[in-house]
A and B are shown apart, each in its own frame.
Chain A
Amino acid sequence: AIAAGQATRARAAEGDPAILELPEHTRGLGRPVAERPYGLPSQWEANLQRRESPGLTRVPQASVSFTPLQGLFGIITPSGLHFERHHQGWWDIDPSKHRLMVHGLVKRSRVFTMDELMRLPSVSRIHFIECGANSAPEWGNVALPTVQYTHGMVSCSEFTGVLLSTLLDMCGIDRKTAKFVLAEGADGSSMTRTIAIERALDDCIVAWGMNGEMLRPENGYPLRLVVPGVQGVSWVKYLRRIEVGDQKWATKDEAVHYIDLMPDGTHRQYTGIQECKSVITTPSGGQMLLDKGFYNVSGLAWSGRGRIQRVDVSVDGGRNWRTARLEGPVLDKALARFNIDWVWDGKPAILQSRAIDSTGYVQPKINQLRAVRGTRSIYHQNAIQSWRVAESGEVFNVQVY
């Protein structure tokens, strides 16, 4: 045993066995091309899954699964990890039988097959989608252990489709009377949401493509509405119908949910915009720093009102701030990735990020949000997130202001 111990030590001094002993893959023949005609992540990445938050919802077909932001890079969300929000379950619809109808206050109504839609002039644009209820459980107090659950209802993809304005123009909308459109899905919930005509004629996309391929079934295959900057529930999946009208619809998901309860007991209705927000994803809640010393602190920032202009980071609970590097491209209503240097001295620290968008809006602190909106509004919680790094290296979700 002593001899073996000495041998191990000698070898350790000589170097790392992972280098000295050539691994199997350096001495063998690997696997063939196209063994997986559609590829998957490494077996070593299985920990990064979309996951439900237990207790958040009561039935899994009217529920949420969250994107594991704690392990992601850059701005593109892998489509396999895109968060899910269904109200009546997801379907894998036969695209040859899917139709889109556009009607209402138009000169001529229109029915399109997928074949027809996909012939139309298309655009491809990178946008974030965030559920209006992202970070909702923490309007009051800290409730969730990791960034997957605090912020994992945001994703960012490259969407391809025809501008909604192109379709509305084709139908000859009545520019005088047309004030709103209703978007409706083809699933059981037939999700319906009102969109202002200015939004509809601006940058909304009737999209079939997501990150280079067709939308995934969980995200509305074969057709979904993309409403840049607006909460995800308006990005109607399995889109089957657009009605042009002159009044808001007050549908269930704009009259009973996605309404923001204010301290005076009124609800703000039609609060779609996802205001400027950011979060540090590494290091973040539930993670352990391995050691003192240098870290690349990395995170995401976005704004439903435009581009990210700047992100500042504090490591002392908001007393002092430094401006982070933004990775390019920094796009309109898209996630932006920021990075900043940090040397951890091993002492307790509180990390925060604060985004500023192209309108000059500064992401608020949770107490500033509460001062205006109270703690019960559920939606649109875009406060600065705080992560406490303990001496042990463990990172905890906290509220600091």
Chain B
Amino acid sequence: MNQVLTPAAGITKGSFGEVRLERVGKIYEKEIERLVALDEFSLTIERGKLTVLMGPSGCGKTVLINMIAGYEQPTSGTITLDGRPVQGPSCDRLVVFQESALFPWMSVYSNVVFGCQVQGIDPAEIRAKAELILRKVGLFEFRDKYPAHLSGGMQRRAELARALINDPKILILDEPFRGLDAMTRELMQEFYVGLFEEFGRTNLFITHEIDEAIFLADKLVIMTYQPGKVKAEIEIDLPRPRDFKMLASSRFMQIRAQTLELLYEESSKAFASGSKAAFDLVGALASSKDSCRIAG
């Protein structure tokens, strides 16, 4: 897949944005319940860097994305993009969703050009741009197919193309490779990291997979469980361009062990507070306390 990565003039470089979250809080009030999803969350998503966010389920990652994208408003604090406050959805902050959000009733081509079309860009320009980007992601021959007729990996590439053609200042990816089989997932990571290394752009990537996180990231942010806060920021100093062989490097394994430790700590806390998402730890904590040993 690397062979398709030749520079394409249609995708402009340099529209890098910087997102600053300052003491952001988000509280949900439902009936009598009061859920503090985020509390005093401060983070800078640096210009041109790939920031990866991890944390136990239910730590407010999705809320965070929704607020950066402008689908929801924070209860307190400010979110700014290049110094200007974020208000409502806009095409300078595009999200690639967990479950594919390609419009199933449009062909790949129509999906990719949708944004440009509704913004009223000149059709000839759209066509040229779309062709370039479709070739870039290796989907040019598939442009007339519907999303359901593509493989999972192709769908993800189509979605990346739909976002990139609009030249967003920040690209937000919410567990984009979830649901793909392990093999496709690894190849997509390679493809995506290649794309990133070529074009830069500010990226925020959310994932559950520890290997994926370390393989991709410039900076790894680990969140705490309810209320969501920044627990740790780890600079990933693996050299770029990244290569799959790094997965077997000792530096990689070191970072992995360190990250796992932090995540385990958070999951235990989540488990202790009764989160169903951290349920997997049941039995594990008990057996580690030696209160109950497996005996043949």
A and B found bound together: no
Chain A interface residues (CB < 8 Å from chain B) = none
Chain B interface residues (CB < 8 Å from chain A) = none
